[in-house]
Amino acid sequence: MLMIRQAAVAAAATLVVVAASCSSEPKPSGDLAEAHTLVSQAEQSGAQQFASINLESARSELRQADQDAASDKPVLATRLAQEASVDAELALARTRSAKAEQALQQVDSGTATLRSESERQSSAPPAPMPPPAASQPPQFQ
């Protein structure tokens, strides 16, 4: 009877350990690392100039996520890290879009300059041909 009781206690203890490990919340380290990477990429891409509101939002959410992770609030930290990632991705996309728009404007400006130069040259009267070099008729002897 004692062995059955010990087996039951061991089984109960095992169940408690398994249940505790299943219910523990995952650490937000992966989400935090991704958010840090995306915010860094946004900063390096020039998002401060083109998407400052989105970048600042991502930074703020990331700071709060780091604090929540340090305060053992993994669910909040994970959620804020994911929000920071989304805002950083939006800042990256807006920065790329703005840079592409600037490049397009530069190409359009260059094309317009070339077009007007071409039209100016085609509407100018043709340059006179230089007179032929004075040639002497062949001399026969």
pLDDT digits (tens, 9 = 90+) for 27-40: 778 999 999 999 99
pLDDT tens string 44-60? 999 999 999 999 999 99
The secondary structure of residue 141, as a DSSP letter, is: -
Q: Is residue 11 part of a domain?
A: no
Rounded Cα distance between 113 and 26, Å, is: 60
Q: Is residue 4 part of a domain?
A: no
- For 103, residues 6+ apart whose C-beta sits below 8 A from its C-beta are none
Confirm if 96 and 45 have CB atoms less than 8 A apart. Answer: yes
Q: Is residue 20 part of a domain?
A: no
User: Quick count: other Cβ atoms within 10 Å of Cβ 52?
Assistant: 13
Amino acid at 27: K
Q: Is residue 89 part of a domain?
A: yes
Q: Is residue 45 part of a domain?
A: yes
Q: Is residue 95 part of a domain?
A: yes
Sign of the torsion angle spanned by Cα atoms 71, 74, 76, 79: positive
Give pLDDT, residue 141: 62
Phi/psi-derived region of residue 140, left when phi > 0, alpha when psi is between -120 and 50, beta in every other case? beta
Closest CA to 29 of 83, 63, 78: 78
Domain range holding 57? 27-110
What is the mean pLDDT of the segment spanning 59-70?
Answer: 96
Looking at the chain, the whole-number percentage of residues with pLDDT higher than 90 is: 57
What is the mean pLDDT of the segment spanning 70-80?
Answer: 95
Give pLDDT, residue 82: 97
Query: Domains in the chain: how many in total?
Result: 1
Amino acid at 97: S
Q: Is residue 13 part of a domain?
A: no
pLDDT tens string 123-136? 766 666 666 666 66
pLDDT tens string 91-108? 999 999 999 999 999 999
Closest CA to 57 of 28, 91, 11, 30: 91
Give the length of the chain. Answer: 141
Q: Is residue 141 part of a domain?
A: no
Give whole-number Cα distances, 8 to 4, 13, 17, 21, 78, in Å: 6, 9, 14, 20, 38
Query: What pTM did the predictor assign?
Result: 0.65
